[in-house]
Amino acid sequence: MRALFEAIQSRFTGSSLDTALGGRLAMGQGRQEWAMPFGVYFLVGNVADQLMEHCSIQFSLFDDAPSAGRICDAYAVLTALFDNCDLPGVGNPGNLGMERSFSQLIRDEGVWHYIVEYSLLIERK
Amino acid sequence: MSAVFSGDFDLSQVKQGLDSHLLATANQIAVEARRRCPVKTGQLRDSIGVVKTRRGYQVVAASPHAAPVEFGHAQVTGGALKVSGRGLKRGETSGHVVGHVPPHPFMRPAVMAVASRQTIAEYALPSSSEIGGSLGALLGGAIGEFLLGPVGGTIGAKGGRHLGKKYGVRAGQAAANAAGGIVADHVPQFLDPAGTKAEQGRSGAISVEPK
């Protein structure tokens, strides 16, 4: 799993999503002092059989702007970066790429929350 | 997996079989979700249930805080975040975002766990039936031939295959059970974890639907 999180972080670093979020993307939990917008990703779950490991990863984008424009832009940049992307060094011998399986925009207590979920099949020897 | 139908069969029986299997799967997901859900007062755990829909069954977490727990949320204090001119009344103050509350997913991991067990059962049952049948035919044929000659060998092989399949399936069920699988007396359906979405309703409740 460490290789997976490192691959996500290295893909994010220096990307247009990095610019859109001002570098504020963390694994697990966002920092309390962070300004909006920011992003969080975490492992929803993973199940393994003898050949593959099926992982589900959720990205959450948060924004407190009155309109949904900024968060929708961040969503577009996120999906352009991670949809069907290759994550080098993840799996042995490799993986079958990130596939977007679910996304939903909600507004809770005045904060926009974009939930984006990806499925990933990691090969194992 | 393929199935061969021969002769007349009643479509309502097929529907009934599928229906009972979907209900069993939904119940398994609900049990797993209850086991995985974080408990403070027990309200969220107790709100997880199975409801019948037009298309099948849904596993529902009806508590209003089900979705924030499953997906995580921003932490806002002092009421909802409002902007002047957009829902902020005179004399009313807006809330402040003070951080992020990480998610504690319970519904989606439950779906994934049940789906993976069903896959084990799907592989275990037919293969164990096949292996049991072959071994039974070999043994029955040898015994029949030894006792009654070539004709006895053929009859013995047929009987042996039938018995071997029966006991092979039982062995497969035991194997799948040992792996924590769901075993029904019909062919288990593969449930695609990626195809089964967790959906959030307006009230904050969430639901998943076995397909």
Of B71, B81, B105, the CB nearest to A110: B81
Say how many CB pairs under 8 Å bridge A and B. 99
Q: Please give the pLDDT value at position B199.
A: 54
Predicted confidence band of residue B181 (pLDDT cuts 50, 70, 90): very low
Predicted confidence band of residue B50 (pLDDT cuts 50, 70, 90): very high
**Averaged over A102-109, what is the pLDDT?**
86
**Strand intervals (E) in B15-62:** 48-52, 57-61
Q: Collect all residues of chain A within an 8 Å Cβ-Cβ radius of residue B108.
A: 44-45, 56, 117
What end-to-end distance do the CA atoms of chain A give, in Å?
Answer: 15
Higher per-residue pLDDT: B20 or A23: A23
Supply B154's token pair: 């053929």
CA distance B98 to chain A (A): 6
Residues A46 and A56 sit within 8 Å (Cβ to Cβ):
yes
* Mean per-residue pLDDT over chain A, rounded: 90
Q: Please give the pLDDT value at position A80.
A: 95
State pLDDT tens for residues B12-40: 777 777 788 888 889 999 999 999 999 99
d(CA B154, CA B66) in angstroms, rounded, equals 62
The model's pTM: 0.68
Burial class (CB in 10 A: 0-12, 13-18, 19+), B78: exposed
Burial class (CB in 10 A: 0-12, 13-18, 19+), B162: middle
State pLDDT tens for residues B126-152: 666 667 777 777 788 788 888 888 778
State pLDDT tens for residues B68-97: 899 998 887 766 666 555 555 666 666 677
**Averaged over B99-105, what is the pLDDT?**
88
Picking from B112, B127, B211 by the largest number of A CB atoms within 10 A of its own CB, the best residue to mutate is: B112
Predicted confidence band of residue A94 (pLDDT cuts 50, 70, 90): confident
Predicted confidence band of residue B192 (pLDDT cuts 50, 70, 90): very low
Supply A42's token pair: 């975490």
Q: Collect all residues of chain A within an 8 Å Cβ-Cβ radius of residue B79.
A: 109
Of B72, B120, B195, the CB nearest to A60: B72
Predicted confidence band of residue A56 (pLDDT cuts 50, 70, 90): very high
Supply B107's token pair: 């519904």
Residue with tokens 């995580």: B72
Q: What is this model's ipTM?
A: 0.86
Q: How many residues does chain A have?
A: 125
Supply B168's token pair: 């092979």
Q: Please give the pLDDT value at position A52.
A: 83
Q: Please give the pLDDT value at position B169.
A: 65
